[in-house]
Amino acid sequence: MALSREQVAMRVAQELKDGYYVNLGIGIPTLVANFVPKGIEVMLQSENGLLGMGPYPTEDQVDADMINAGKETVTAATGAAIFNSAESFAMIRGGHVDLTVLGAFEVDQQGNIASWMIPKKLIKGMGGAMDLVAGAQNIIVTMTHASKHGDSKLLETCSLPLTGVNCVKKIVTDLAVLEVKDGAFYLLERAPGVSVDEIISKTAGKLIVEGDIPEMQFAE
Amino acid sequence: MALSREQVAMRVAQELKDGYYVNLGIGIPTLVANFVPKGIEVMLQSENGLLGMGPYPTEDQVDADMINAGKETVTAATGAAIFNSAESFAMIRGGHVDLTVLGAFEVDQQGNIASWMIPKKLIKGMGGAMDLVAGAQNIIVTMTHASKHGDSKLLETCSLPLTGVNCVKKIVTDLAVLEVKDGAFYLLERAPGVSVDEIISKTAGKLIVEGDIPEMQFAE
Amino acid sequence: MAGFDKVVNSYAEAMEGIKDGDTIIAGGFGLCGIPEGLINEIKRKKTQDLTVVSNNCGVDDFGLGVLLHDRQIKKIVASYVGENALFEQQLLDGIIDVELTPQGTLAEKMRAGGAGIPGFYTATGYGTPVAEGKEVKEFNGRPYILEESITGEFAIIKAWKADRYGNLVFRHTAMNFNPMAATAGKITVVEVEEIVEPGELEPSQIHTPGIYVNRVIKGNFEKRIERVTTSK
Amino acid sequence: MAGFDKVVNSYAEAMEGIKDGDTIIAGGFGLCGIPEGLINEIKRKKTQDLTVVSNNCGVDDFGLGVLLHDRQIKKIVASYVGENALFEQQLLDGIIDVELTPQGTLAEKMRAGGAGIPGFYTATGYGTPVAEGKEVKEFNGRPYILEESITGEFAIIKAWKADRYGNLVFRHTAMNFNPMAATAGKITVVEVEEIVEPGELEPSQIHTPGIYVNRVIKGNFEKRIERVTTSK
């Protein structure tokens, strides 16, 4: 069965390593923070200028001057640092963030990503997404494998305006975990109860299936 | 009679305006701080990262962590700001410093300046001088009009490796005040008791002398 | 105004000299850390044909969004304008021109503008619509695009505290774009919560040195929050 | 080392992994704000063929100058090397190579290295020996030269205080090149006067966020002064 949003976040959280500085995008990526494995510490970077983002504030802690990149009120964790936006993106562009998790409309087999614009429909702007995908050494994209209408989001070539090129290394969808390399999607894991055939049918780009594909494992 | 070092500094100080941010180079330029006219406030920028340089410390105020660009121990004036060297040169390169005063080996009639290197003799490095002359809107060069051997330092073309091009606007020497424009030195003032003929004889570059050249005025 | 005292006492004085067609660099991220009173003064003055450089354009009735009602903005350079329906309408109607710029590139363009760096290379946006018409150059085998710096006639800034010399300290994430924007204005005007005397701010803890600041005014801030999110 | 605790307890650990031929970016201006113990550890390890990027090269018997005695430095990138007779001699003898770089350009090259900006344009050095072999481009009618960023295998930094997460605060003008150098090392090692617990440093007053820092060690500093100048 397709994973829930929480389960996608749980699976992504398994990619975290102790001591990682992580930037989590809006949506499912934000949920990853709730599933950090035991014994592992990560520090969250928010691109408006906060390293060490804490939980949401209680009602009387709410402070208009303390927000995250999603413009939500947040707190600063113990040991946090706050800085200006040029410094924040120096950090991002310079490759100092260990992992970036973000959503997308489409990814293609070259590792290109489209996540910010649907011509004539959605022109809100790219925010920090282009900097994040250009700067991160390690990018995980989370999205549903296919649209509501059943159209695959893993394509041979992205159809929408790009956010970045040759940058996506790993994709966690509601159906599968895939690696992007050598111009193809490599199927690594499938969601519990989801067949390889279903993944094949919903992957428009070149998909490599080698050997038995294990089911994702979730801790109890 | 040729001006003393102090007199050159006094004459330069007449160029200061209230509210000026000023960078003073090593040597005669440093002395300018001693002659700031009454009723005028200036703030001294030191390119290692100090805006609002104060006087030298008393013996028990000496602090190894508080130095100026000449590596001398200094103090911070009231209202000073301290910052890193990239920020300091952003300030300089970005044209935020109102006036830069520095010494030179040679200046030529194009406003080129040579101040940092004498091939096979002196190769200490340019420090911040190239940034200062490229960034300042307003540069005054102080130097003796001619060398000890009588060779003019105001040339048609600099003979030494340059520090910057087309940047020097004004020169205060021990003999004269000159403006550099349209490919020539314009004589503005002469030191008390120094004849125009002497200045002509000690200026190798193209010198324009228009009308009566007044003597420099020094307040009592 | 003698010496380095940059405090002005009226918004009229604070924004004196702004004129039709000017480029205004504004600090702030969303509604956080925005110079509320300076924006309102621009609205009051009805200055037209402005180019506004700011990460966002406020919301319909707050922040830079208030300049949309009288169509004061001709062009905006921003990274994200998604919170503003009026903006989107004016964009579709062709009343306003928008240059969408990645957030980090925008921050760096402002910094470069203030720092006398006319252009820099970045991988951000390479291969995307952002790269169109821009020079591409390879460094160590990777392609980068040339981005040019931004400066403006005015920078409008929100800080927490200023001393009379214009040294600034920002509070929490209300810092955001303000320090870079402050360097990129020909005239930089700062609206603050508190004005202190020179010497009260620790020199090495000043975020923006006064050399970048021309005018300081004490404001009153609503500090509207876009998304109040709380935990129990 | 678990989580974000970056404190190490020996100089050997602090400089572990440095090898012949490495590029070392060093903070400090003259003898002010230099990582004395880290430099001495490099001397002790006798690492050879180093490229050192630092505004200055210390003096004959202190700071980076101590690395000259055993000819550990192959090349130095600096803006001013005038305080060091041994350096000048090795330069004349062809033992050491020097790339003189304007001070502001050097600071910006380090910052760019850390910030993922491979190159930037500056007017500094145009028309001088510094511009030789460099690309020239006009912006608004003025010529600028292209300068490339600098990174190194190691950055060695002196800070005043660090918390265990590697967040740094510098003291007075001992800040100088340290913050930029800290961003430009693949491994950044910081020698500090005091180590504090996370949370003790005010977040918005941290000069260098811990993300740039890999190792922190508490040092003892002589803090030699190059020119003691006093007034009565």
Q: How many CB pairs under 8 A join C and D?
A: 54
Q: In this model, does residue C1 exceed pLDDT 60?
A: no
Catalytic residue among B41, B47, B72, B198: B47
Torsion of CA A52, A54, A56, A60, to 10 degrees: -110
Residues comprising chain C, all counted = 232
Burial state string for B33-59 with b = 16 or more CB within 10 A and e = fewer than 16: bebbeeeeebbbbbbbbbbbbbebbee
Mean pLDDT of C44-60: 96
C65 touches chain B (CB under 8 A): no
Judged by CB atoms closer than 8 Å, whether chains meet at B43 and C206 is answered as no
List active site positions of A: 47
Task: Give all chains having 3 or more CB-to-CB distances under 8 Å with chain D.
Answer: A, B, C
* CB-neighbour burial class of residue D133 (10 A; exposed 0-12, middle 13-18, buried 19+): exposed
- Identify the H or E element spanning C15: none
Which amino acid is located at C108 in the chain? E
> Is A in contact with C (3 or more beta carbon pairs below 8 Å)?
yes
Predicted pLDDT at D88: 82
Please write the tens of the pLDDT for every residue from D146-183. 999 999 999 999 999 999 999 999 999 999 999 999 99
D142 touches chain B (CB under 8 A): no
Task: Give all chains having 3 or more CB-to-CB distances under 8 Å with chain C.
Answer: A, B, D
Written as one string, the DSSP assignment of D58-88 is -BTTBGGGGGTTTT-EEEEEES--TT-HHHH
CA A141 and chain centroid, separation = 4
Which domains are assigned to chain C? 11-116+148-218 (3.40.1080.10)
For residue D175, what is the nearest residue in chain C, using CA coordinates? C204
**A contact set with D (CB within 8 A):** 18-19, 21, 41, 43, 45, 50-52, 76, 78-83, 87, 89-97, 134-135
Chain B CB contacts of D82 under 8 Å are 124-125
Judged by CB atoms closer than 8 Å, whether chains meet at A86 and C227 is answered as no
Look up residue C69 and give its two tokens. 């009602």
Q: Which residues contact A48 (CB under 8 A, 6 or more apart)?
A: A67, A68, A69, A85, A88, C29, C32, C173, C176
* Closest CB to B130 among D30, D91, D124: D124
> Is A in contact with B (3 or more beta carbon pairs below 8 Å)?
no
Please write the tens of the pLDDT for every residue from A107-124. 999 999 999 998 877 678
Chain D CB contacts of A45 under 8 Å are 211
- The pLDDT-based confidence of C23 (bands split at 50, 70, 90) is very high
Closest CA to D80 of B135, B105, B129, B31: B129
Chain D CB contacts of C148 under 8 Å are 139
For residue D209, what is the nearest residue in chain A, using CA coordinates? A81
D27 touches chain B (CB under 8 A): no
d(CA A20, CA D135): 39
8 A C-beta contact, residue A96 and residue A83: no
Please write the tens of the pLDDT for every residue from A173-193. 999 999 999 999 999 999 999
Torsion of CA D173, D179, D181, D182, to 10 degrees: 130
Q: Of A24-28, A130-134, B206-210, C215-219, which gets the smallest average pLDDT?
A: A24-28
* Closest CB to A96 among D203, D206, D212: D212
CA B196 and chain centroid, separation = 23
Looking at per-residue confidence, does D87 or B123 come out higher?
Answer: D87
- The pLDDT-based confidence of A65 (bands split at 50, 70, 90) is very high
Collapse the DSSP code of C70 into the 3-class scheme (helix H, G, I; strand E, B; otherwise coil) and give the result.
coil
ipTM value of the model?
0.97
Residues comprising chain D, all counted = 232
For residue C174, what is the nearest residue in chain D, using CA coordinates? D204
Rounded percentage of chain D residues whose pLDDT exceeds 70? 99
Judged by CB atoms closer than 8 Å, whether chains meet at D107 and B48 is answered as no
Supply the Cα-derived Rg of chain C in whole angstroms.
18
Judged by CB atoms closer than 8 Å, whether chains meet at A65 and C80 is answered as no
8 A C-beta contact, residue C216 and residue B79: no
* Chain A interface test: which of D4, D111, D120, D208 (most A C-beta within 10 Å): D4
> Is D in contact with C (3 or more beta carbon pairs below 8 Å)?
yes
Q: In this model, does residue D232 exceed pLDDT 80?
A: no
Q: Three-state SS across A173-195?
A: ECCEEEEEECCEEEEEEECCCCC
Sign of CA dihedral A80, A86, A89, A90: negative
Predicted pLDDT at B45: 97
Judged by CB atoms closer than 8 Å, whether chains meet at D209 and A81 is answered as yes
| Residue linked to tokens 């303000």 | C178
Closest CA to D87 of B48, B125, B64: B125
Mean pLDDT of A44-67: 97
Rounded percentage of chain B residues whose pLDDT exceeds 90? 93
Predicted pLDDT at B153: 98
d(CA C169, CA C158): 10
Judged by CB atoms closer than 8 Å, whether chains meet at D211 and A97 is answered as yes
Rounded percentage of chain D residues whose pLDDT exceeds 90? 92
Predicted pLDDT at C92: 81
Q: Of C88-92, C196-200, D100-104, D212-216, which gets the smallest average pLDDT?
A: C88-92
Looking at CA atoms only, how far is residue A137 from chain D in angstroms? 12
Closest CA to D100 of B122, B90, B157, B93: B122
Q: How many CB pairs under 8 A join B and D?
A: 174
Q: In this model, does residue C82 exceed pLDDT 90?
A: no
Residues comprising chain A, all counted = 220
Q: Of B71-80, B119-128, C158-167, D67-76, which gets the smallest average pLDDT?
A: B119-128
Q: In this model, does residue C194 exceed pLDDT 60?
A: yes
* Closest CB to C163 among B43, B79, B87: B79
For residue C112, what is the nearest residue in chain D, using CA coordinates? D120
Written as one string, the DSSP assignment of chain A is -PPPHHHHHHHHHTT--TTEEEEE-SSHHHHGGGGPPTT--EEEEETTTEEEE-PPPPGGG--TT-B-TTSBB--EEEEEEE--HHHHHHHHHTT--SEEEEE-SEEETTS-EE-S-BTTTB----TTHHHHHHH-SSEEEEE-SB-TTS-BSEESS--SPPSBSS---EEEESSEEEEEETTEEEEEEE-TT--HHHHHHT--S-EE--S--PBP----
D210 touches chain A (CB under 8 A): yes
For residue B90, what is the nearest residue in chain D, using CA coordinates? D104
Q: Of A118-127, C162-171, D131-140, D153-162, which gets the smallest average pLDDT?
A: A118-127
The HSE-up count of residue D222 (CA atoms within 13 Å, CB side) is: 11
Looking at CA atoms only, how far is residue D26 from chain A in angstroms? 19
Looking at CA atoms only, how far is residue A25 from chain C in angstroms? 14
Please write the tens of the pLDDT for every residue from B111-132. 999 999 988 776 789 999 999 9
Q: Which residues contact D95 (CB under 8 A, 6 or more apart)?
A: D71
Predicted pLDDT at D1: 43
The alpha-helical segments, DSSP class H, found in chain D are 11-14, 36-45, 85-92, 103-115, 178-183
Please write the tens of the pLDDT for every residue from A88-113. 999 999 999 999 999 999 999 999 99
Please write the tens of the pLDDT for every residue from C71-81. 999 999 999 98
Predicted pLDDT at C3: 86
Mean pLDDT of C126-152: 98
Looking at CA atoms only, how far is residue C17 from chain A in angstroms? 28
Is the pTM of the predicted complex or chain greater than 0.90? yes
Q: Of A1-5, B64-68, B118-122, C147-151, which gets the smallest average pLDDT?
A: B118-122
CA angle in degrees (0–180, nearest 5) for D222-D226-D230: 105
Judged by CB atoms closer than 8 Å, whether chains meet at D230 and B73 is answered as yes
Which domains are assigned to chain B? 5-209 (3.40.1080.10)
Q: Three-state SS across A80-100?
A: EEECCHHHHHHHHHCCCCCEE
* Chain D interface test: which of A93, A100, A137 (most D C-beta within 10 Å): A93
